[in-house]
């Protein structure tokens, strides 16, 4: 067996032997239906690499425009106010909402910047035929940054804010708005490229440079572990609890350590914070007509009664339905995995995938609050500030995302595998028993 041969299903742990696919073809796990890998580009790896470099470079350029130009400008009877993303975060920071400001900064500026910068560095290097210094660490950073970058959520948040503002003032779109739109589209294409492919390309390069194979072939009965970072399935380095991937050096575990306990801990913290997140105001409006506190739910009601029913539904789904679903589904997954239940494993895997996918979308309301707070600063007319509910709400989103990441979906399938192995052992034992009986009769 050899290094590229095997692939392990991320969601249920089944091992497969890879075969080449046609372009745009997908290989799915027969047990849980998750996508294992996709067919290579028709024009080959180097054309694919050129595309990635070009797109990432373009996205990085658009990213800078999006950061430094204002997104929208408001005009109320000659009074104007405009906001850049960074400016909005600064406003939050000076309002003593340090944690929320930091969260918004990380999810909308720092992580997307790390993703683009690191990907560009590694892909550009490979394009020039060099495996850049720090290759493994930088490529791992791309993957982590990708999990936490939320540009597409921010884009929807910007659009909601714009629509919301049209009822208060004249809204003039600024270059930042279009730049964010373009960035969202470009990132969607960049994200469709799996960084694991870059590890394989890096391997090819080193093999050309150093004749002699880096990863020796291994015997079929040797114990292998899949690496969740680079995708290699091979016998790991090290012994006991300290195992590492031969290729990229990531620490490996048979199952994520303490997965269920950690999931529960994060989940319970999220459930407790979910209460203040809904009861405390996320926004406080001070206007000529006095002060008004808005919780998430009252914000939804306000949209509904003011005629923006579509927006009311979007915010209701993102901020109320999604967090509740996430808490419920994660509790169900942790509970059934703890009881080693064999109940509907495939459906539970689908639920897990869903929670992983929708997790980030609950940040929507936080982004809307951030931009609104920065835009509505008309001292004589109205000033909107962020309330403590925003902090609790942001914490719920981050905690549930962490809980989903701590949960190891392969735990859903372990009891199923164990039962199958037990049945097989029992039936083979029964068969040997029969044989002896037959033998005795003949004798
Ligand atoms: Zn699977
Ligand atoms: Zn690895």
Do residues 179 and 117 both lie within one domain? yes
| DSSP H helices in 149-257 | 151-165, 175-191, 196-209
Query: Distance from the CA of 233 to the center of ligand 2, in angstroms?
Result: 8
Report the alpha-carbon distance of residue 383 to residue 385 in Å, rounded.
7
CA of 354 to the centre of ligand 2 (A): 25
**Widest pairwise Cα distance in the chain:** 108
Q: What is the pLDDT of residue 381?
A: 80
Query: What is the spatial distance between Cα 173 and Cα 176, in angstroms, rounded to a whole number?
Result: 8
- Given pLDDT bands bounded at 50, 70 and 90, which one contains residue 107? very high
- The answer to whether residues 25 and 72 belong to one domain is no
**What's the CA-to-centroid distance between 72 and ligand 1, angstroms?**
45
Counting ligands in written order, the one closest to the CA of 15 is 1
Any domain includes 364: yes
Residue from 111, 33, 59, 53 nearest 345 by CA: 33
Whether residue 267 sits in one domain with residue 169? no
| Cα of 90 from ligand 1 centre, angstroms | 44
What separation in Å is there between the alpha carbon of 214 and the centre of ligand 2?
13
Q: Ligand 1 centroid vs 30 CA: distance in angstroms? A: 7
For ligand 2, the distance from its centroid to the CA atom of residue 150, given in whole angstroms, is 25
Question: How confident is the model over 9-26, as a mean pLDDT?
Answer: 85
3-state class (DSSP) for residue 221? coil
β-bridge partners, 429:
none
Residue 441 has pLDDT above 70, yes or no: no
The Cα–Cα gap between 127 and 174 comes to 36
Rounded to 5 degrees, φ, ψ at 82 are -135, 165
Q: Which ligand lies nearest the alpha carbon of 225?
A: 2
**What is the distance between the alpha carbons of residues 361 and 349, in angstroms, rounded to a whole number?**
20
CA distance 163 to 177: 13
- Using a CB cutoff of 5 Å, list residues around ligand 2, an ion: 227, 229-230, 232, 245, 247-248, 250
Give me ligand 1 centre to Cα 121, in Å.
32
My answer on whether 273 and 411 are in the same domain is: yes
Distance 175 CA to ligand 1 centre (A): 44
Question: What are 309's two structure tokens?
Answer: 């029913």
52 shares a domain with 158: yes
Residues 21 and 87 in one domain: no
Angle between helices 175-191 and 151-165 (to 10 degrees): 150
Q: How many domains does the chain have?
A: 3
* pLDDT bracket for residue 402 (50, 70, 90): very high
Indicate the pLDDT class of residue 429, thresholds 50, 70 and 90.
Answer: confident
Span from the CA of 32 to the centroid of ligand 1 (angstroms): 4
pLDDT band at 400 (very low <50, low <70, confident <90, very high): very high
Rounded distance from Cα 296 to ligand 2 centre (Å): 42
Q: Is 443 among the domain residues?
A: no
Same domain, 277 and 229: no
Q: State whether 389 and 290 are in the same domain.
A: yes
Cα 329 to ligand 2 centroid, rounded to whole Å: 30
Between residues 270 and 25, the one the model is more confident about: 270
Same domain for 272 and 392?
yes
User: How far apart are the C-alpha atoms of 83 and 109, rounded to whole Å?
Assistant: 15
> What's the mean per-residue pLDDT of the chain?
87
Which of the ligands is closest to the CA of residue 11? 1
| d(CA 13, ligand 1 centre) in Å | 6
Instruction: Say how many Å lie between the CA of residue 19 and the centre of ligand 2.
Output: 20
Q: Is the domain of 179 the same as that of 220?
A: no
Judge whether 341 lies within some domain: yes
Q: Given pLDDT bands bounded at 50, 70 and 90, which one contains residue 439?
A: very low
Residue 227 lies in a domain: yes
- Name the residue among 34, 8, 38, 10 with its Cα closest to residue 23: 38
Tens-digit pLDDT profile for residues 120-147: 999 999 989 888 999 999 999 999 999 9
Mean pLDDT, residues 423-434: 79
State the distance from the centre of ligand 1 to the C-alpha of 2, rounded, in angstroms: 21
Residue 9 lies in a domain: yes
The Å distance, Cα 17 to ligand 1 centre, comes to 13
Task: Specify if 206 maps to a domain.
Answer: no
Average pLDDT over residues 329-347: 95
Q: H helices within 225-321, ranges in order? A: 259-279, 296-305, 309-316
Query: What count of other Cβ atoms lies within 10 Å of the Cβ of residue 425?
Result: 10
- Average pLDDT (200-215) is 63
The reply to whether 31 and 124 lie within a common domain is no
Residue 340: is its pLDDT beyond 60? yes
Nearest bound ligand to the CA of residue 417? 1
- Considering the domain boundaries, does residue 33 fall inside one? yes
Same domain membership, residue 178 and residue 93: yes
Among candidate residues 140, 160, 193, the one where a domain is terminated? 193
Residue-level pLDDT at 24 = 79
Closest ligand to residue 33's CA: 1
Structural domain that includes position 23:
1-40+215-254
Q: Is residue 442 part of a domain?
A: no
Q: Which residue is associated with the tokens 């808005």?
A: 294
CATH number of the domain enclosing 331: 1.20.140
Taking the C-alpha atoms of residue 320 and residue 322, their distance in angstroms, rounded to an integer, is 6
């Amino acid at each position: 067996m050899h290094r590229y041969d095997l692939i392990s299903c991320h969601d249920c742990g089944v091992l497969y032997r890879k075969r080449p696919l046609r372009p745009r073809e997908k290989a799915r796990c027969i047990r849980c239906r998750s996508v294992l890998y996709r067919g290579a580009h028709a024009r080959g790896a180097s054309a694919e690499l050129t595309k990635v470099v070009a797109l990432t470079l373009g996205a990085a350029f658009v990213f800078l425009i999006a950061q430094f130009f204002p997104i929208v400008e408001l005009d109320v009877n000659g009074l104007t106010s405009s906001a850049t993303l960074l400016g909005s975060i600064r406003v939050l920071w000076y309002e003593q909402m340090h944690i929320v400001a930091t969260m918004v900064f990380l999810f909308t500026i720092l992580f997307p910047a790390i993703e683009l910068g690191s990907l560009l560095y590694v892909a550009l290097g490979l394009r020039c035929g060099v495996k850049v210094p720090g290759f493994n660490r930088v490529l791992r950073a791309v993957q982590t940054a990708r999990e936490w970058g939320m540009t597409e959520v921010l884009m929807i948040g910007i659009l909601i804010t714009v629509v919301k503002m049209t009822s208060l003032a004249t809204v003039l779109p600024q270059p930042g708005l279009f730049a964010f739109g373009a960035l969202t589209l470009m990132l969607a294409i960049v994200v469709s490229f799996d960084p694991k492919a870059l590890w394989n390309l890096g391997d090819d390069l080193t093999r050309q440079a150093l004749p002699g194979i880096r990863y020796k072939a291994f015997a079929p009965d040797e114990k292998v572990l899949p690496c969740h970072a680079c995708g290699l399935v091979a016998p790991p380095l090290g012994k006991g609890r300290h195992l590492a991937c031969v290729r990229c050096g990531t620490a490996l575990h048979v199952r994520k350590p303490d997965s269920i306990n950690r999931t529960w801990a994060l989940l319970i913290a999220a459930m407790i914070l979910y209460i203040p997140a809904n009861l405390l105001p996320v926004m406080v409006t001070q206007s000529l007509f006095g002060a008004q506190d808005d919780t998430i739910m009252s914000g939804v009601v306000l949209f509904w009664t003011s005629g923006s029913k579509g927006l009311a539904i979007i915010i209701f789904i993102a901020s109320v339905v999604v967090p509740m679903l996430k808490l419920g589904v994660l509790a169900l997954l942790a509970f059934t995995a703890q009881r080693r239940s064999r109940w509907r494993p495939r459906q539970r895997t689908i639920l897990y995938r869903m929670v992983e996918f929708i997790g980030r979308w609950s940040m929507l309301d936080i982004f809307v609050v951030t931009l609104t707070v920065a835009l509505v600063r008309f001292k004589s007319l109205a000033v909107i500030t962020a309330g403590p509910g925003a902090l609790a709400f942001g914490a719920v989103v981050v905690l549930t995302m962490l809980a989903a990441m701590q949960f190891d979906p392969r735990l859903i399938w372990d009891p199923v595998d164990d039962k199958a192995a037990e049945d097989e052992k029992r039936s083979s034992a029964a068969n040997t028993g029969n044989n002896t009986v037959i033998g005795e009769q003949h004798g």
